[in-house]
Amino acid sequence: MVKYMNDDAQASQGVLKHLKAKQIKQEDVANYLGISRTTLNRKLNGSSEFKISEIKLIHKQYNVPLNLFFEE
């Protein structure tokens, strides 16, 4: 069974803001994760959940602070 982050749109918005501030394109992140940009967009807008493995990859590749994925 794959574990997912709790559905938290506010946290996802923090990740989205960080990516925008660092001028990291959603398309680049999606390609890195091996998912479509539409799927990534759903995750960033809180309508879908990030997998733990995706969180780790985004953190490692793009220096997105882990706390942004879990903010309340």
Distance of CA 17 to the CA centre of its chain: 11
- CB pairs under 8 A, 24+ apart, for 57-64? 57/32, 57/33, 58/15, 58/29, 58/33, 61/32, 62/19, 62/22, 62/24, 62/29, 63/22, 64/15, 64/18, 64/19
Q: Is the pLDDT of residue 4 over 70?
A: no
Between 30 and 67, the higher pLDDT residue: 30
Q: What is the pLDDT of residues 8-46, one digit of tens each?
A: 567 778 899 999 999 999 999 999 999 999 999 999 988
b/e 19-35 (16+ beta carbons within 10 angstroms → b): beeeebebeebbeebeb
Q: What is the pLDDT of residues 47-60, one digit of tens each?
A: 898 999 999 999 99
Between 13 and 7, the higher pLDDT residue: 13
